[in-house]
Amino acid sequence: MIKVQNLAKVFGTKRAVDDVSFSVNRGEVLGFLGPNGAGKSTTMRMITGFLPPSGGSVSVGGFDIVEHPIEARRLIGYLPENAPAYTDMTVHGFLNFAAEIRGLRGDARKQAVNRVVEMCFLGSVLHQSVETLSKGYRHRTCFAQSIIHDPDVLVMDEPTDGLDPNQKHEVRQLIRRMGEKKAIIFSTHILEEVDAACSRAIIIDRGKIVANGTPQELRQKSEWAGAVTLRVKGVAASAVTAKLYQVPLVKRVTVVDEKDGRVTVRAFPKSGANGALAQAIGEAAHEWQIEQLQAEEGRLDEVFRSITMPDTAKEAA
Amino acid sequence: MNAWRNVWTITKRELAAYFTSPLAYVFIVIFLLLCGFFTFFVGGFFERQEASLVRPFFDWHPWFYLFLVPAVGMRLWAEERRVGTIELLLTMPITAWQAILGKFLASWLFLALALALTFPVVITVNYLGRPDNGVILTAYVGSWLMAGAYLAISCITSALTRSQVVSFIISLVVCLFLILAGFPPVINVLEQVAPKLVDLVAFFSVMTHFEGFQKGVLDSRDILFFLSVIGFSLFTTSVILRTHRAG
């Protein structure tokens, strides 16, 4: 549904987005990750046709956003950053306006408004002015306008920003549910959201795509992927590390903790270990008193750090 | 057909926005008070002893509009940019032109309403004498067209900035220029300094073109002047909005 090819945006001398290509199909939820200022919002603004690209192209549902902007925009629902809404209108008035400008009239409009009011739990503030709403309600109002025409494509810039944990959960559930039938892109810098809602994620840094894959695949890039944490009792830390270094699959061993006669160490696998490390370590350690033996999954935050800040990631790990 | 529907949707929203804020009521009250005060006290409506509204009433309009129209137009785009709703508006399935036109029409209709509410002056003059109502009508039309020209200029300045105050001041200065270019004292000075330029400069003044309407003459050149100021200004607005986004 969304096809982005070699997209670029230049502001003055700064390349905010640099040669970005990806596509999103119906039924996919794409998480857009990246540090602040990486070019996430700029990319989304180009996809929705708010900013004209400096290079490359975007097509939505087969319509080029520059050549056929109206047809393309008709397919898109957009939640901009900070969820702007007309402060001088009531929630009801605002949603009616959004429906009308999307070409919904009469009964169709009433139904659309009722549907999103219910979906976004706006019933209690329907006749309140947007100006007086709390941040969460204002956010949901803007979210409601983005789905009022039941679009095939949803573009959301930090949809959970400023919501309380319950609301965040609701929104993620909603995105996930809607993602079964639509093509969705949303940006976030909360990594757990990627697991909670995305079928695929892209990490963007300084305008370029630096990683693209399912959350599972991204996790595999982590040094932690396939690492094993071992806690044994009654053995010296030096003896444990020495022994583990003899296991062929082990690349590196760190001592996590040593107290009360218990040692916790973590072994990182060489590439290509494919999860076999836990068994190998289990065998190596069979003569000790094992209290814990745990295979780690990759950690997204660590992948994120190591990709976007290569210099400091090592220390953090 | 669809295009006009979109324009009308925008216009409706903007009009509603005027009346949900106190701005509309404040504006109308101030405008009517000014009209009344200047017509009957400063303009010497009664002292003149003539059944005409031209001098005591319409003569003041270019000056009222100088302050009031920029106040009406300043929020059109500046507010959208400040709050960020411009990002919503311009990603809706409408063209930028439809949005620009819709907003302009809303403000222009609002000004028409304010103007229409001065009807007691017309009743008064008809009660006291036998004025030429045709002249009064053309003068009203001219006044409204002039307000539209000011308003279109305010659209430009409003699109230029996020700040309504800055927009207000710039459009006030531009509109002041449009008045002064045809203001008799300025013309007199100019006649001595550069006599060849007088006609050219005066041509750009709203005063020169409003004059005809006040005499009851519907000159196509005057109408065209105001309409082309409006058209050109709205076009400039669209260019400014586009360059903002082009970065």
Give, for B140, the enclosing helix (H) or strand (E). Answer: helix B133-160
pLDDT higher than threshold 70 for residue B159: yes
On whether the CB atoms of residues A176 and A282 are closer than 8 A, the answer is no
Phi, psi of A62 (to 5 degrees): 90, -10
Interval B160-183 mean pLDDT: 90
Q: CB-CB: which of A70, A85, A87 is closest to B95?
A: A70
| Tens digits of pLDDT across chain A (317 residues) | 899 999 999 988 888 999 999 999 999 999 988 888 888 999 999 999 999 999 999 999 999 999 999 999 999 999 998 899 999 899 999 999 999 999 999 999 999 999 999 988 899 999 999 999 988 889 889 999 999 999 999 999 988 887 888 888 888 888 888 889 999 999 988 888 888 888 899 989 888 988 888 887 777 777 777 788 888 887 888 888 888 888 887 888 888 888 878 888 888 887 766 667 778 888 887 788 888 888 877 777 777 777 777 665 444 44
On whether the CB atoms of residues B152 and B106 are closer than 8 A, the answer is no
Strands (E), chain A: 2-11, 14-24, 29-33, 55-60, 63-64, 76-79, 153-157, 183-187, 200-205, 208-213, 228-233, 250-259, 262-269, 289-295
Of A117, A163, A116, A157, residue with least CA distance to A136: A163
pLDDT in tens, A85-113: 999 899 999 999 999 999 999 999 999 99
Are B20 and A129 in contact (CB < 8 Å)? yes
Same domain, A241 and A186: no
Mutation target to probe the B interface, by most B beta carbons within 10 A, among A42, A44, A86, A94 is A86
Residue B120 CB contacts under 8 Å (≥ 6 apart), including other chains: none
Residue A267, pLDDT score = 84
Structure-model confidence comparison of residues B208 and A28, the more confident one: A28
pLDDT higher than threshold 90 for residue B147: yes
Residue of chain A with shortest Cα separation from B91: A50
Asked if the structure places residue A309 within a domain, the reply is no
Name the domain boundary from A202, A220, A238.
A220
Are A93 and B16 in contact (CB < 8 Å)? yes
Residue B137 lies in domain: 2-246
Are A84 and B21 in contact (CB < 8 Å)? no
Of B27, B43, B206, residue with least CA distance to B117: B27
Same domain, A8 and A104: yes
Asked if the structure places residue A280 within a domain, the reply is yes
Long-range pairs of A159-168 with CB within 8 A, sequence gap ≥ 24: A159/A79, A159/A186, A159/A188, A160/A188, A160/A190, A160/A193, A161/A81, A161/A82, A161/A83, A162/A83, A162/A135, A162/A136, A163/A135, A163/A136, A163/A139, A164/A136, A167/A136, A167/A139, A167/A140, A168/A193
Cα A23 versus chain centre, distance: 15
**Number of structural domains in chain B:** 1
Q: Is B126 helix (H, G, I), strand (E, B) or coil?
A: helix
Give, for A135, the enclosing helix (H) or strand (E). Answer: helix A135-146
- In chain A, residues with a C-beta closer than 8 Å to the C-beta of B17 are 86, 88-89
Are B85 and A84 in contact (CB < 8 Å)? yes
- In chain A, residues with a C-beta closer than 8 Å to the C-beta of B10 are 101
On whether the CB atoms of residues A198 and A215 are closer than 8 A, the answer is yes
Asked if the structure places residue A9 within a domain, the reply is yes
Residue A272 lies in domain: 228-295
Same domain, A135 and A279: no
Q: CB-CB: which of B21, B91, B95 is closest to A78?
A: B91
For A158-191, letters b (16+ CB in 10 Å) and e give bbbbebeeebbebbbebbeebbeebbbbbbbeeb
Name the domain boundary from A203, A220, A237.
A220
- In chain A, residues with a C-beta closer than 8 Å to the C-beta of B16 are 89, 93
Residue A313, pLDDT score = 45
Phi, psi of B217 (to 5 degrees): -100, 125
Q: Which of the residue ranges A48-62, A182-196, B23-37, B91-105 would you say has the lowest mean pLDDT?
A: A182-196
Residue of chain A with shortest Cα separation from B13: A97
**Number of structural domains in chain A:** 2
Q: If phi over 0 gives left and psi between -120 and 50 gives alpha, with beta otherwise, what is residue B3?
A: alpha
Asked if the structure places residue A305 within a domain, the reply is no
Same domain, A177 and A84: yes
Using the Cβ of A100 and the Cβ atoms of chain B, whether some distance falls under 8 Å is answered with yes
Are B20 and A89 in contact (CB < 8 Å)? yes
Tokens of B228: 């082309």
Cα A106 versus chain centre, distance: 37
Residue A263, pLDDT score = 85
Q: With a CB-CB cutoff of 8 Å, which residues 124-143 of chain A face chain B?
A: 129, 142
On whether the CB atoms of residues A184 and A174 are closer than 8 A, the answer is no
Are B83 and A84 in contact (CB < 8 Å)? yes
- In chain B, residues with a C-beta closer than 8 Å to the C-beta of A85 are 83, 85, 88
Residue A275, pLDDT score = 67
Same domain, A96 and A137: yes
Kindly report the CATH number assigned to the domain that includes residue A244. 3.30.70.2860
Residue A266, pLDDT score = 84
Residue B169, pLDDT score = 94
Phi, psi of A54 (to 5 degrees): -80, -20
Same domain, A142 and A194: yes
Cα B64 versus chain centre, distance: 10
Same domain, A271 and A175: no
Report how far apart, in Å, the C-alpha atoms of A142 and of each of A127, B3, B213 are. 15, 24, 47
Same domain, A270 and A133: no
Packing angle, helices B23-37 and B96-116, rounded to 10: 40
Using the Cβ of A88 and the Cβ atoms of chain B, whether some distance falls under 8 Å is answered with yes
Same domain, A153 and A245: no
Q: Is B164 helix (H, G, I), strand (E, B) or coil?
A: helix
For B196-233, letters b (16+ CB in 10 Å) and e give eebeebbeebbbbbbbbbbebeeeeebbebbeebbeeb
Are B91 and A85 in contact (CB < 8 Å)? no
Interval B158-175 mean pLDDT: 93
Same domain, A129 and A194: yes
Residue B14, pLDDT score = 93
Tell me how far apart the alpha carbons of residues A95 and B183 are, in angstroms, rounded to a whole number. Answer: 48
Are A80 and B21 in contact (CB < 8 Å)? no
Q: In what order do the strands lie in the sheet with A262-269?
A: A250-259, A262-269, A228-233, A289-295
Give the confidence band of B148 by pLDDT, cuts at 50, 70, 90: very high
Q: Is B34 helix (H, G, I), strand (E, B) or coil?
A: helix
pLDDT higher than threshold 90 for residue B149: yes
On whether the CB atoms of residues B216 and B138 are closer than 8 A, the answer is yes
User: How far B239 CA lies from chain A's nearest CA (Å)?
Assistant: 13
Asked if the structure places residue A215 within a domain, the reply is yes
Return mean pLDDT, chain B.
Answer: 89
Are B93 and A45 in contact (CB < 8 Å)? no
The model scores a pTM over 0.90 = no
Residue of chain A with shortest Cα separation from B244: A51
Kindly report the CATH number assigned to the domain that includes residue A28. 3.40.50.300
Same domain, A55 and A184: yes
Residue A274, pLDDT score = 66
- In chain B, residues with a C-beta closer than 8 Å to the C-beta of A103 are 2, 93
pLDDT in tens, A248-302: 878 888 888 888 788 888 888 877 666 677 788 888 877 888 888 888 777 777 7
Tell me how far apart the alpha carbons of residues A60 and B92 are, in angstroms, rounded to a whole number. Answer: 14
Asked if the structure places residue A248 within a domain, the reply is yes
Are B88 and A78 in contact (CB < 8 Å)? yes
Same domain, A133 and A18: yes
- In chain B, residues with a C-beta closer than 8 Å to the C-beta of A73 are 91-93
Asked if the structure places residue A311 within a domain, the reply is no
To the nearest 10°, the Cα dihedral for A109, A111, A115, A121? 80
User: How far B45 CA lies from chain A's nearest CA (Å)?
Assistant: 40
Q: CB-CB: which of A86, A88, A101 is closest to B92?
A: A101
Residue B77, pLDDT score = 93
Q: CB-CB: which of A12, A73, A87 is closest to B92?
A: A73
Asked if the structure places residue A45 within a domain, the reply is yes
